[in-house]
């Protein structure tokens, strides 16, 4: 079912681009003052670097369709999210964020891992 | 078949366009992502390990509202006798649930499940703070309503991971895939 497959691939690519743009746009939050009303998530310089790397990897994955790049983007975001969740509120906090930083990174993490699964899963209909 | 009904079938009804059109899909994705961002921001001020207990601020302060300004007797009892004495565990659970709500609703994965979790969390928050000082009850009614919209429209299927992964889950005969079909 070539048409179905190409439709599905296009859908994966579209969501891949969407998540990449989302990660890139989230970097802007680094400029937000610590006023809760406007700062949707705490983005520190290190978190911004992680988001940039995730956005680039995710964008490349969407462009090339390579599942391994989705895995790299998702894995990086997920590792950073877990690290942030564990270190939040502790004396050592490498990323320097809080629970919102962890949640944001986790979102992109599960998103790109999901796309990895979608891009590599066997297609029974073919 | 009457002429009127035949004409109706031939031309798409304008109500259908409103129900299923591009604007509706964008709107649903917007609601889901906005609510996801709400939970992400909310996870930012649940600060471990004390969660405000040492300074009587933050999550601890709002949790004590359930006892000081009771909304529902049994819930106040539960908070006073179970939650507050074990506050560190409760704090970590709250942080984990709200961070997960934000993450999964943001990308639209297992959306209907997380919408139900969001409704439960909204009820728990409302039962804690609804009678508290400076609270606007409609905040929680509207938050609950937004989760109902996300649930009944399966909003993750629009511009979300559910929309991408459901065709894969449909092809799989495994139990996790069947479960995820229901949760998405």
Residue pointed to by tokens 């300074």: B55
| A111 closest CB neighbour out of B47, B102, B107 | B107
Full pLDDT tens readout for chain A, 126 residues = 566 668 888 999 999 999 999 999 999 999 988 776 778 899 999 999 999 999 999 999 999 999 999 999 999 999 999 999 999 999 999 999 999 999 999 999 999 999 999 998 665 443
A–B: how many Cβ contacts below 8 A? 111
Torsion over CA: B124, B127, B130, B132 (sign): negative
DSSP state of B83: I
The pLDDT score that the predictor gives to residue B80 is 98
pTM, to two decimals: 0.91
Q: Which of A12, A41, A107 is facing B107, going by the closest CB pair?
A: A107
Residue A103 CA to residue A114 CA, distance in Å, equals: 16
Report the range of poorest mean pLDDT among B16-25, B77-86, B140-149. Answer: B16-25
Within 10 A of B160 (CB to CB), how many other CB atoms are there?
Answer: 28
User: CA nearest A42 in B: which residue?
Assistant: B44
Q: Which domain holds residue A42?
A: 2-120
Cβ of A103 within 8 Å of Cβ of B48? The answer is no
Q: Which helix (H) or strand (E) holds A63?
A: helix A45-64
Instruction: Return the number of other C-beta atoms located less than 10 Å from residue B91's C-beta.
Output: 24
Residues of chain A positioned with their CB less than 8 A from the CB of B109: 110-111, 114
pLDDT of B9: 52
Give the model confidence (pLDDT) of A66-93 as tens digits. 999 999 999 999 999 999 999 999 999 9
Place of tokens 């990660």: A23
Least CB–CB distance from A107: residue in B47, B102, B165: B102
The answer to whether the CB of B64 falls within 8 A of the CB of B132 is no
**Environment class of residue B132 by beta-carbon count within 10 Å: exposed (0-12), middle (13-18) or buried (19+)?**
middle
Locate tokens 């609270």: which residue? B135
Q: Does the residue A126 lie in any domain?
A: no
Q: Taking CB atoms and an 8 Å cutoff, what residues of chain A touch B94?
A: none
> Would you say how long chain A is, in residues?
126
Helices A2-26 + A99-120 axis angle, to 10: 160
pLDDT at B19 over 70: no
Check: CB of residue A28 under 8 Å from CB of residue A52: no
pLDDT confidence of residue B11? 55
* Residue B97 pLDDT greater than 50, yes or no: yes
Q: How many domains does chain A have?
A: 1
Residue of B nearest to A77 (CA): B103
Residues A116 and A113: their CA atoms lie apart, in Å, by: 5
In the numeric block, the tokens 């819930």 are attached to: B75
Query: Which residues of chain A lie closer than 8 angstroms to B113, CB-CB?
Result: none
The verdict on a CB contact (< 8 Å) between A104 and B47 is no
Residue labelled with tokens 């207990």? B53
Interchain pair A15, B159: CB under 8 A: yes
Residue B78: pLDDT above 90?
Answer: yes
Q: Is residue A103 in a domain?
A: yes
CB–CB contact B171 A12 (8 Å): no
Q: Are A70 and A112 in contact (CB under 8 A)?
A: yes
Query: At what angle are helices B175-183 and B161-171 packed, to 10 degrees?
Result: 140
Alpha-carbon distances, residue B24 vs A77, B30, B133 (angstroms)? 31, 10, 37
CB B109 within 8 A of CB A111: yes
Domain boundaries, chain B: 27-183
The answer to whether residues B71 and B127 touch, using CB atoms and an 8 Å cutoff, is yes
Q: Cis bond leading into A111, ω under 30°? A: no
Answer whether residue A23 is part of any domain: yes
Sequence-ordered list of residues with C-beta below 8 angstroms from that of B29, at least 6 positions apart, any chain? B108, B155, B158, B159, B160
Strands (E), A22-96: none
Judge: A12–B164 Cβ closer than 8 Å, yes or no.
yes
Q: Is A45 on the interface with B (CB under 8 A)?
A: no
Q: Is A62 on the interface with B (CB under 8 A)?
A: no
Instruction: Tell me which residue in A89, A104, A110 faces B47 most closely, judged by beta carbons.
Output: A89
């Amino acid at each position: 079912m070539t048409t179905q497959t190409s439709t599905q691939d296009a859908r994966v690519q579209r969501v891949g681009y969407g998540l990449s743009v989302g990660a890139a746009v989230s970097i802007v939050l680094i400029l937000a003052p610590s006023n809760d009303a406007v700062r949707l998530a705490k983005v520190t310089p290190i978190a911004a670097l992680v988001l940039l790397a995730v956005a680039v990897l995710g964008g490349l994955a969407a462009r090339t369709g390579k599942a391994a790049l989705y895995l790299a983007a998702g894995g990086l975001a997920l590792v950073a999210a877990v690290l942030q969740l564990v270190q939040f509120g502790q004396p050592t906090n490498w990323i320097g964020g809080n629970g919102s930083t962890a949640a944001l990174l986790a979102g992109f993490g599960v998103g790109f891992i999901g796309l990895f699964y979608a891009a590599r899963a066997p297609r029974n209909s073919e | 078949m009457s002429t009127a009904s035949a004409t109706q079938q031939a031309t798409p009804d304008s109500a259908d366009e409103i129900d299923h059109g591009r604007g509706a899909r964008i709107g649903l994705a917007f609601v889901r992502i906005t609510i996801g961002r709400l939970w992400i921001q909310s996870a930012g001020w649940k600060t471990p390990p004390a969660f405000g207990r040492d300074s009587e601020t933050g999550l601890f302060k709002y949790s004590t509202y359930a006892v000081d300004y009771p909304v529902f007797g049994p819930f106040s009892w539960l908070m006073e006798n179970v939650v507050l004495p074990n506050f560190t565990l409760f704090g970590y659970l709250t942080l984990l649930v709200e961070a997960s709500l934000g993450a999964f609703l943001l990308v639209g994965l297992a959306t209907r499940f997380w919408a139900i979790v969001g409704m439960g969390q909204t009820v728990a928050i409302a039962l804690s703070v609804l009678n508290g000082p400076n609270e606007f009850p409609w905040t929680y009614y509207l938050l609950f309503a937004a989760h109902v919209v996300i649930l009944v429209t399966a909003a993750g299927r629009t511009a979300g991971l559910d929309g991408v992964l459901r065709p894969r889950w449909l092809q799989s005969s495994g139990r996790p895939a069947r479960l995820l079909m229901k949760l998405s």
